[in-house]
Amino acid sequence: ANANANANANPFAELSEEDKQKYLQYAMTALGVWALLKVLSGIVSETLLFFLLLPGLYLYGIQTCPENSSFDAKKEVKRVLRGHHLPDDHPNKPRRGNWFEEWGAKITASVATEVGAAAGGYELEMTPLLGGVATHATVTLPMLNLTCEWVGCHHTWYHLRTYTANR
């Protein structure tokens, strides 16, 4: 009765060593296939998620790209010249609360922009990016020897950089 109880406890007890090796190989193969399928399903789900989200992000970008007509070159150049895009601790940005500095920067920016636009005009170049998801705007003021760049996306024009034009 005791030998019969031990045989019931271990179903592999009556198998030969060769059969045990076969079952072990089957188990290892099944475990390997399971692990491989787990990895592949993770990759496929990540890729599928990426390809499902990408068109949605693209459509969102197209819908929120500002119209070229919404870009006011004079207004944007004035904002740049008065330091609107600079961080608060930048030495060239007028200090908030200092009325004289703020108005001085506004007047200087307005005069410089109007004189530059009247004397030499300005060149505006608009380039669509990524099939219309964003727009790159470049404004060159030859009289001031200045070039400013913006990117339009998410219903807003973001200042990228300002540099002196070397021609």
Would you say 149 and 134 are in contact if contact means Cβ atoms under 8 Å apart? no
The yes-or-no verdict on residue 62 having pLDDT over 80 is yes
pLDDT digits (tens, 9 = 90+) for 98-148: 666 666 766 776 777 666 666 667 889 999 999 999 999 999 888 778 899
Name the H helices within the chain: 2-9, 17-64, 73-81, 99-119
The yes-or-no verdict on residue 3 having pLDDT over 60 is no
The model carries a pTM of: 0.62
More confident position, 88 or 150: 150
| Domain limits, the chain | 1-64, 66-164
- Residue 108 CB coordination number (10 Å): 14
- Residue 86 CB coordination number (10 Å): 14
The predicted pLDDT at position 160 comes to 92
CA distances in angstroms from 56 to 51, 53, 89, 152, 157, listed in the order given: 9, 5, 38, 19, 22
The whole-angstrom separation of Cα 52 and Cα 44 is 12
Beta bridge pairs of residue 127: 136
Q: Which of 73, 57, 61 is nearest to 123 (CA)?
A: 73
Which DSSP string corresponds to 4-21?
A: HHHHHH-TTTTS-HHHHH
pLDDT digits (tens, 9 = 90+) for 5-57: 555 677 777 878 888 888 899 899 999 999 998 888 888 888 887 888 889 89
